[in-house]
Amino acid sequence: MSITSDLIRGHTDTIILASLINGDSYAYRINRGIYDATSGRYELKEATLYTAFKRLEESGCICSYWGDEETGARRRYYSITNRGRETYKKLINEWSEAKELIERLVIRDTADNG
């Protein structure tokens, strides 16, 4: 699991931006979505999540605001900006290229040794 976590961790910003593409959300819902999408095999640590939010907000990729919940605790919501959408597209292209190169290297090595 640690190898998988290390590989995924490098894509935290991309994962968060992907979570916000279709609408605003808050930390727990984003992390729960990650957990559900991976069938419980991965979730972000709270410190990692909030560090990423801060980094993305400082770079102009997301903005945040306080919700006005009438019951329960107030939630801080995050919204993707136009810069965030552009960054997301760039990160997806980089991920796709890296994935292709890694697959070529791994499959080539496997085929040569098989």
> Coil, strand or helix: which one is 73?
coil
The domain segmentation of the chain, as residue ranges, is: 2-113
Give pTM, 2 decimals.
0.85
Rounded CA-CA distance 48/107 in Å is 32
Question: Which of 66, 79, 61 is closest to 23 using CA atoms?
Answer: 79
Give the CATH number of domain 2-113; options: 3.20.20.190, 1.10.10.10, 1.10.510.10, 3.40.50.720.
1.10.10.10
Place of tokens 């107030």: 74
pLDDT band at 8 (very low <50, low <70, confident <90, very high): confident
DSSP state of 29: H
pLDDT band at 111 (very low <50, low <70, confident <90, very high): low
The residues pairing with 65 across neighbouring beta strands, listed in sequence order, are 77
Q: Give pLDDT tens digits for 18-55.
A: 999 999 999 999 999 999 999 998 889 999 999 999 99
> Coil, strand or helix: which one is 110?
helix
